[in-house]
Structure 1
Amino acid sequence: MPTELEYRIALTQVPQIGCVAAKTLLQHFGNATDIFKAKKSMLSAIDGIGTVRAESIKQYTDFELCSSEVAFIEKHHIQPLCLLDEAYPKRLLNCYDSPTMLYYKGEANLNQSRIVSIIGTRKNSDYGKHCVQELMESLAAHEVLIVSGLAFGIDTLAHRDALKHKLPTVAVLAHGLQTIYPAENKKLAKQMLEEGGGILTEFMSGTGPDKHNFPTRNRIVAGMADATIVVETDVKGGSMITAELANNYNRDVLAYPGKITDSRSRGCNHLIKTNKAALITSGQDVLEMMNWLPQEKKAPAQRSLFIELSADERILYDLLQPSPLHIDEINLRSQLSASAVATALLTLELQGVVASLPGKMYKLL
């Protein structure tokens, strides 16, 4: 009889069952075991599943593969994270295509209060190198988790400079944890693990760094951070895909401008020009835009009593009483739909009850 973990892994291998369908099923049943034990008629009746997917689940039998993966996980001290788990990166839960399973090795907190992803070209200039170095110097004192993809260029600089300034850093990989790609960064990955960072992937062991895996990986880089910072990139490539994903996930995107004659800055300039990224010139800009600088404590003003708050507005009002919250945290803790939260927040803003802050934070006035 397969274990719950083996059933969770199996769910990622069933044909016709992608991340969206798997998320629907896990939210419906509360565990993976009951999904595979459910009758076909029960599965097909779930919205978004239907008879084809239900049949695919009932026909899946390759649990030996899942058992082998569990053996690999245990041998290499890997932490499997299902979207039902407490340690799963909660920011990803608000992405419609949250990975069903993640495989994590390391000690960094994937739910740290401040997380930025740093992306850019594999062929950076000295200007890009300077931007990353200055950025890390600015973030060093603010307990920020640095996420990148361990690629050559900007990714490597981000990880190395994070380590230099004692910042935890996590690499999101486009392959299984049986290897490190590129091989030249094996030593860097080892150092990250030794110094409290981590390596993360949604791919099972044995999966190679195939080209089509990288755009899939990029959605994790975009979705698990509060902001994505683009240092240097041309108008086409993985960094632009990641920036687009971050915008679609309602994350902040920040970009360093560059010379109009430099192909390595064309992508950043385009993002800024089309209002898909905020222009930054320093790490201080990031801290200010994300509202991560220490705030002066003021004597609390007595709030007026509001009599005519709707039920949804009252839920958000009570949530925001202790301290400002990020939009993702509001969505998670309110247990309201995203549209209901947006409507209630807008109404509260118009009434002068709530104010929006940089970094998609909200506070009571």
Structure 2
Amino acid sequence: MMSPPDLSALNTRGAWPPPAGPRVAIVGSRRPSPYGEAVAEQLAADLARAGVIVVSGLALGCDAAAHRGALTAGGVTVAVMGTGIDIIYPAAHLRLAEEIVAGGGALVSQFPKGALPRRQNFPARNVTMAALSDAVVVVEAIQGSGALITAEAALDLHKEVMAVPGSIFSPQSVGTHNLIRDGAALVQNARDVLAALGAGGEVLDDPLAAPQRLGFGLSRERDGILLHLSDVLSVSAAELARKLDLPVAEVLGRLTSLELDGAVRRHGPGFLRALRTGKERA
């Protein structure tokens, strides 16, 4: 797997970093079945109502449905782009991109402004999506789909991978069925996703109250992680989870939040406390 970029150095437009709380990437086919598109939109809407930040790739199909579902529910969604943040691709999603920013979300990219949509950019974009998220849900994917790159990257980063079952006659469900066969959690609804994240499986009506009620509390508790990190010897998420007596998924979520703030950085399979250089976030 290619290494994820420095998440604190991403180019961004909109509210960044996102609010504290779990982040779930919802990905899938650019040419989904009507079922797949409906599932992506409904799942994103229900998760957004529970205070989850919905991450996707601004592509046609399942990505766009996920962004729209989150926006319809009044939630926050983040679009990870395979272009510069000033190049909306596909161009048909210009309005969607504006709605994401206006809704309190963000456009993010590891590529410089002006970067065009080149084929080699999108696998790297998919890895970044996985790195930014606490879990990845694949809604539909043909064999060889880019959504499976996101799932593979999530596994390599020790993130939760989930998949939605579909028809055995549908090529769009071959990839998700293979993921489930290989151990991915089966997702039928938002409660399944929340349960896998250790969030109790409660679909909430008030998105603003959700991060506290779901028990993630990143902004209040992340200092506890920093106490267990040094700037010399890297520590894995699994080791931190043992020391803090917390689920690995929750520790990874806090580490990602700290990485976005520039407070920690990845080093091999673990994490180091980042040395500040005078550019401190408020």
Whether the 8 Å contact between 1:108 and 1:168 is mirrored in structure 2 is no
Aligned partners of 2:8 and 2:46: how far apart in 1? 35
**Structure-2 residue corresponding to 1:11:** none
Structure of greater relative contact order (alpha carbons < 8 Å, 6+ residues apart): 2
Aligned to 1:192: 100
The alpha-carbon distance between structure 1 residues 358 and 290, as it changes in their structure 2 partners (threshold 3 A), is farther
1:358 is displaced (CA, Å) by 7.9
RMSD: 2.9
CA distance in 2, matches of 1:260, 1:358: 33
Deviation at 1:200, TM superposition (A): 0.7
Match of 1:132 among 30, 36, 40: 40
Name the amino acid aligned to 2:228.
Answer: S
C-alpha distance after superposition, 1:164-193 (max 9, x if no partner):
000111111111123210000001111111
Post-superposition shift, 1:238? 0.8
Equivalence for 1:287: 194
Q: How does 1:130-279 map to 2 (within 5 A)?
A: 130-275=38-183, 277-279=184-186
- How many residue pairs were aligned? 234
- Consecutive unaligned residues of structure 2, counting only runs of 5 or more, are 203-214, 253-282
Q: Which residue, 327, 331, 334 being the options, matches 2:228?
A: 334
Change in Cα spacing, 1:333 to 1:270, as seen in structure 2 (3 Å) is farther
Aligned partners of 2:44 and 2:54 also within 8 Å: no
| 165 and 150 in structure 1: CA distance in 2 versus 1, 3 angstrom threshold | same
Q: Answer yes or no: is the 8 Å Cα contact 1:325–1:361 preserved in 2.
A: no
1:71 maps to what in 2? none
- Cα distance, 1:209 vs. partner? 0.5
Instruction: Give me the whole-angstrom Cα distance separating, in 1, the residues matched to 2:240 and 2:93.
Output: 47
Q: 1:210 to 1:339 in 2, by over 3 A?
A: same
1:257: Cα distance to partner? 1.0
Partner of 2:277: none
Question: 2: distance between equivalents of 1:345 and 1:228?
Answer: 20
Alpha-carbon contact 1:192-1:198 (below 8 Å) kept = yes
For 2:235 and 2:140, the matched residues in 1 are separated by 35
Say which SS state the counterpart of residue 176 (structure 1) adopts: coil
Please give the TM-score of this superposition, normalised by the length of structure 1.
Answer: 0.58
Change (3 A) 1:136 1:226: same
Residue aligned with 2:11, SS: strand
Q: 1:205 to 1:324 in 2, by over 3 A?
A: closer
Structure 1 residue runs of 5 or longer lacking an equivalent are: 1-18, 21-94, 296-322
Shift of the 203–293 alpha-carbon distance from structure 1 to 2, 3 Å rule, reads same
* Secondary structure of 1:178 counterpart: coil
Aligned partners of 2:165 and 2:225: how far apart in 1? 33
Structure 1 or 2, whichever has the larger Rg, is 1
Alpha-carbon distance change, 287 to 358 in structure 1, aligned in 2, over 3 angstroms: farther
Report the CA distance between 1:284 and its aligned residue.
1.3
Instruction: Report % sequence identity.
Output: 32
Q: How far does residue 345 in structure 1 lie from its aligned partner after superposition?
A: 5.3
Per-residue Cα deviation, 1:83-117 (whole angstroms, up to 9, x for no partner)? xxxxxxxxxxxx6x535731101025436221111
8 A Cα contact 1:108 1:170, kept in partner: no
Q: Give how far 1:229 is off.
A: 0.8
Higher mean displacement: 144-153 or 107-116: 107-116
Note if contact 1:120-1:153 (Cα within 8 Å) is conserved in structure 2: yes
Contact 1:102 1:201 in 2 (8 A): yes
Q: TM-score, normalised by structure 2?
A: 0.73
* Counterpart-to-counterpart distance in 2, 1:116 and 1:341: 18
Q: Distance in 2 between the 1:251 and 1:291 partners?
A: 13
Q: Is the 8 A contact 1:118 1:228 kept in 2?
A: yes
Q: Does residue 1:122 correspond to 2:41, yes or no?
A: no
In the other structure, the counterpart of 1:45 is: none
